[in-house]
Structure 1
Amino acid sequence: MRVLAESADPVRLSFLAALLADAGIASQQLDAHVSALHGGIGVFPRRLAVRPEDYGRAMAVLRQAGETAP
């Protein structure tokens, strides 16, 4: 898995995941359970990742939507 974005805002990551899903790209949120253990929103960042073979296309989808990635 390759990380596309990192944020402590689960709503933003859900939005990015929806953009990717609309483009037919599967993604996965990493660290969601760890974030919850550390107090939830704003404390511990979560990461959004895709398969390595989808990374280039996923980056293009995010750029086209005006989103920045790490």
Structure 2
Amino acid sequence: MIELLRTNDPVVISYIEALMRDAGLSFFVADQNMSIMEGSLGVLPRRVLVAEDDVEQARRILTDAGFADEMRDG
């Protein structure tokens, strides 16, 4: 899986999950359970990962949704 984006904002994560799900793309949000270790402070970012075969489509979707500046290179 390829990392597309990192954020501490749960609303952004939820929105991106909906975009990926609606497009039928394989994705995973890593580090969601880290809030237990950090005391639910929201300090540690969550990572949105997508299947390698879906990277280009996922990048287009995120760009169209206004997340081009937040996406990770690679």
Q: Which residue of 2 aligns with 1:49?
A: 49
In 2, Cα distance between equivalents of 1:53 and 1:40: 33
1:24-61, Cα deviation, whole Å (9 max, x unpaired): 11211101112332122421111010111111110011
The 3 A distance-change label for structure 1 pair 44 and 57 is same
Q: Which residue of 2 aligns with 1:35?
A: 35
Quick check: which one's helix share is greater? 2
**TM-score (norm: length of structure 2):** 0.83
Amino acid at match of 1:55: V
Q: Note the C-alpha offset of 1:6.
A: 0.3
Q: Number of aligned pairs?
A: 70
Contact 1:6 1:45 in 2 (8 A): yes
Aligned residues with identical type, % of pairs: 36
In 2, Cα distance between equivalents of 1:53 and 1:47: 18
Point out where structure 2 has 5 or more consecutive residues left out of the alignment.
none
Point out where structure 1 has 5 or more consecutive residues left out of the alignment.
none
Moved over 6 A (4+): none
